[in-house]
Structure 1
């Protein structure tokens, strides 16, 4: 589901009429749409990303169909992660939203060319602030295979606690992997000593033509 947060930012693409749905200190989140399919397809086709996420190659058409299907799904929100100059650097989602129990799962994928700069942590912090600051979430979870060190590091920086392992839960490239299960609870988020997304002063600008 998508809530009107009242913090819509500057357009990053005037021709597409793209606006921010949410902003943070160094990145902005714009709602994902069909025109982003080719961009996401390129990221998902990267061998390192495919290994870290345990995904297999799919056609661009299939990805477009998935984005269209997910856009009508009331229990998830998908966003493109944008830098202040409008450069897209990743995809992040809040999926499996259950407003009765106050639970949801976070998903994050970064452009391989923009890793190691803190963008993943900033984007995840922004999504977490959306979940706890604007939505009635109490528990967020994340899963990744236990050898995905970059993802585990980003989750830890954002306050997620590793609470267990689902043994041999993922099949990828003919091998079974364990999945690390991490979570962040509302009281833990409230205790984090960092600026909130709504205190952001950096907006995403239109890229130069």
Structure 2
């Protein structure tokens, strides 16, 4: 994957994150209420947003690569989503996403994730995509279920952030389930 795979939906442009996106990414990740489910504490410095953009860029050349898209709506970055921990031998990977609080409730993340999943199943030849979700993150559970993900179980105390251990629910989507829709 040398050329970044930009994607388009009716309302979104999914594109590579740029250094100039750091202030918006920082604002999203500094929101403590939003980040309570994300798996890390909220950002406290713009340098962390720059480091995150670098991390996402490195995913594409990592032994277990991934791709992270910036979600642009009406010319503005509103979040990101990605496929990562790509196990080519197993044709599987994990999903992650976040959305600015002002952009929630409009169906934007569902639109973005559907485009991303379609791309992953076709171009990465994925068989399975999984997501780890905090049990109390009802919005993410509902979104993933609308996309066809099935609840598979709970990983007890698998997460650790903000000084606490957290259970994480596993949801999975198989290629045939995505294509059956």
Indicate how the Cα distance of structure 1 residues 65 and 88 shifts in structure 2: closer, same or farther if over 3 A, else same: closer
Partner residue of 1:72?
58
- TM-score normalized by the length of structure 2: 0.88
The answer to whether the 8 A contact 1:146-1:179 is kept is yes
2:151 is aligned, of 162, 166, 170, to 162
**Greater relative contact order: 1 or 2 (C-alpha under 8 angstroms, separation 6 or more)?**
1
Q: Distance in 2 between matches of 1:64 and 1:4?
A: 19
Measured on the aligned residues, the alpha-carbon RMSD in Å equals: 1.8
The answer to whether the 8 A contact 1:2-1:77 is kept is no
1:57 and 2:56 aligned:
no
1:34 and 2:19 aligned:
yes
Q: Distance in 1 between matches of 2:14 and 2:129?
A: 18
The count of residues paired between Structure 1 and Structure 2 equals 176
Q: Which of these two proteins has the greater Rg computed from alpha carbons?
A: 1
The answer to whether the 8 A contact 2:31-2:42 is kept is no
Indicate how the Cα distance of structure 1 residues 163 and 3 shifts in structure 2: closer, same or farther if over 3 A, else same: farther
Q: Distance in 2 between matches of 1:182 and 1:188?
A: 13
- TM-score normalized by the length of structure 1: 0.77
Partner residue of 1:106?
95
How far the C-alpha of 1:25 sits from its partner, in A, is 3.1
Indicate how the Cα distance of structure 1 residues 4 and 30 shifts in structure 2: closer, same or farther if over 3 A, else same: closer
How far the C-alpha of 1:3 sits from its partner, in A, is 5.6
Deviations 1:2-32 (A, max 9, x none): 6666xxxxxxxxxxxxxxx101233220111
Point out where structure 1 has 5 or more consecutive residues left out of the alignment: 6-20, 193-209
Q: Distance in 2 between matches of 1:2 and 1:138?
A: 22
How far the C-alpha of 1:76 sits from its partner, in A, is 1.3
